[in-house]
Amino acid sequence: MSTTQASRSIAMMMAVLGAAMTPSHAKPDLTQTTDMTLLSAKDIGYKFVYHDFSAVAPKTSQQDNLAAIQAYAKPRHYRVWLAIPCQPSLSPSQECLSTATKVLYMLDGNAAIDDLDQETLHALSQAQSSNMAPALVFIGYQTPYRFDVDARAYDYTPPLFDDTHEQKQSSANSSKAFQEKGRARLNGGAEQFYELIEQEIKPWVYEQLGNKPTQEAIWGHSYGGLFVLYTLFEHPQSYQQYFSADPSLWWQDGEMTQYWQAFQNQPITQLSILSTTKQLRLTFSQSQQQDAPVANTSTASTAAVSGLNKNEFANNICTMFQNNASYQFYNESHGELFTTSLLDSLQRF
């Protein structure tokens, strides 16, 4: 199968999936268990290995409603699956020989596995030349469900931006969790989650592959899309490609727009380097809930007051990254876009 044929195969799967969507898929079913049969499937061009990781319970400086906060301040337990692209090995002691030179990291790994099938992986393994099929890293949680809602709400959301923020916040300055606006669960753990990926998950991936890939990308949806943007704005050196699907721009009255403004305030020479060496793909649903809202209070941030919506944000960021950034709106709900954007990232990476 040629590269063009395999890409068309994945594109056809996206089209079939879109036609099969029904209103019942508009919102994700948080009680739905994950179908893990893909992990043991044969002749799909990949083999799966996994490893478990843990993180300590979040800390918070909030004293009000402490009992409710502590109910959510629990350690997080991760399960990370690595799909290694395989070629038949000449050695009888090995099942396959990995030659992967690029890797895609996917958040909400449980749901991502659930949404892929054998045909998609087989097509992907054949979509590139023998040493270019990507390794796939599914960063999930030790749960039978598609999502660990409370854990991801903490891991994927950034620390609150400080008005005096002029450089990357260290973990010492961004280690305090806070309650999500309008909800009891905790937010603010993105920096710690970033460090877990960099210091523990990536080294394990490199060890399994036998090398550090030359191309690395990250994909995330909703809060996961927010984390992708946070990583791009605060740690742009971490990946070459960023796939952000329906990022929750509404979160904390548009808090992410402050990170975006700080990113733009870097020296011109640095911005020029980033805009030509990094690639960004934004995908959006028709849901208005993902927009950054127009604030009504005098204490709101300037970014939030501007009422930056998805289309404005996409235009602004693509203007900066020029030919290295693109965006697309789909006539789908927020929940439906999860699978569509995942397949889009696999097709483009």
200 by Cβ neighbours in 10 Å (0-12 / 13-18 / 19+) ranks as middle
Per-residue pLDDT at 213 exceeds 50: yes
Of residues 297 and 253, which shows the higher confidence score?
253
**Alpha helices of 169-247 — where are they, by DSSP H?**
190-196, 202-209, 223-234
β-sheet bridge partners, residue 262: none
pLDDT in tens, 128-174: 565 678 999 999 999 999 999 999 999 999 999 974 464 444 544 45
pTM of the predicted protein model: 0.86
pLDDT in tens, 288-324: 655 655 444 333 333 343 446 899 999 999 999 989 9
Q: Give the DSSP H/E element, type plus range, for residue 60.
A: strand 59-60
**Among 202, 209, 111, 116, CA closest to 152:** 111
| d(C-alpha 56, C-alpha 228), whole Å | 22
pLDDT at 163: 40
| d(C-alpha 340, C-alpha 349), whole Å | 14
Max Cα distance, the chain (Å): 70
3-state secondary structure of 304: helix
| d(C-alpha 85, C-alpha 319), whole Å | 35
pLDDT in tens, 67-77: 767 788 899 99
Retrieve residue 11's tokens: 């594109």
Coarse DSSP helix, strand, coil percentages of the chain, rounded to the nearest 5 percent: 40, 20, 40
Per-residue pLDDT at 19 exceeds 60: no
pLDDT at 115: 97
Q: What is the mean pLDDT of residues 275-285?
A: 96
Q: What is the mean pLDDT of residues 180-187?
A: 87
The gap between the terminal CA atoms of the chain, to the nearest Å, is: 18
pLDDT in tens, 68-112: 677 888 999 999 999 999 865 555 555 666 678 899 999 999 999
